[in-house]
């Protein structure tokens, strides 16, 4: 039996999305894990922090979907870690830190791209990274890494 970790990177053209594009010099504005056969997402958003949301909770300008094959053990470990993050707050200070070139990481709060990269490590797809590096990840970094390393799906 095959097991997959799935996620999507999206682009928004609202004012927050435009600010993210400007700071990251890219087109991606958000990244989140997709679960239950692409029917739900788990991600960090400014409104509500880390939550499970229906896949169609918002309409996006663009969307890229990816998946990576994992073992059953990797999937279980990653999902356990991901579910433990649900309910944690959004890290607004981390956004300011990226814009101002500072390292103001709060390990108990999340932005979408930090949750994604730490999540990939929890699923065993990346080696755990130094927290000082993880703090700098943007949705654009998530898109570029995904396009270079993982399988894009429709």
Over the stretch 97-116, which tens digit does the pLDDT of each residue have?
777 767 677 788 999 999 99
Question: What is the separation, in whole angstroms, between the first and last Cα of the chain?
Answer: 21
How confident is the model at residue 10, as a pLDDT?
97
Residues of the chain with pLDDT under 50: none
The residues, any chain, with a CB within 8 Å of residue 140's CB and separated by 6 or more, are: 21, 24, 25, 26, 27, 28
Neighbours of 20 (CB within 10 A): 26
How confident is the model at residue 131, as a pLDDT?
66
CB-CB contact of 82 with 122 (8 Å): yes
- The number of domains in the chain is 1
What CATH code is carried by the domain that includes residue 107? 3.90.1720.10
Where in the sequence is the domain holding 78, given as residue range(s)? 3-153
Separation between Cα atoms, residue 8 and residue 139, nearest integer Å: 10
Angle, helix 139-149 to helix 15-24, in steps of 10 degrees: 60
């Amino acid at each position: 039996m095959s097991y997959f970790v799935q996620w999507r990177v999206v682009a928004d053209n609202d004012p927050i999305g435009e600010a993210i594009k400007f700071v990251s010099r890219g087109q991606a504005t958000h990244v989140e894990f997709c679960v239950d056969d692409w029917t739900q997402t788990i991600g960090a958003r400014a409104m509500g922090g880390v939550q499970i949301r229906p896949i169609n909770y918002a309409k996006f300008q663009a969307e890229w979907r990816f998946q990576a094959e994992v073992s059953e053990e990797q999937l279980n470990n990653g999902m356990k870690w991901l579910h433990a993050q649900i309910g944690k707050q959004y890290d607004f200070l981390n956004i300011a830190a990226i814009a101002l070139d500072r390292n103001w990481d709060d390990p108990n709060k999340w932005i979408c791209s930090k949750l994604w990269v730490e999540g990939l490590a929890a699923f065993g797809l990346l080696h755990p990274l130094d927290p000082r590096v993880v703090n700098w990840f943007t949705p654009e970094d998530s898109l570029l890494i995904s396009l270079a390393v993982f399988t894009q799906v429709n």
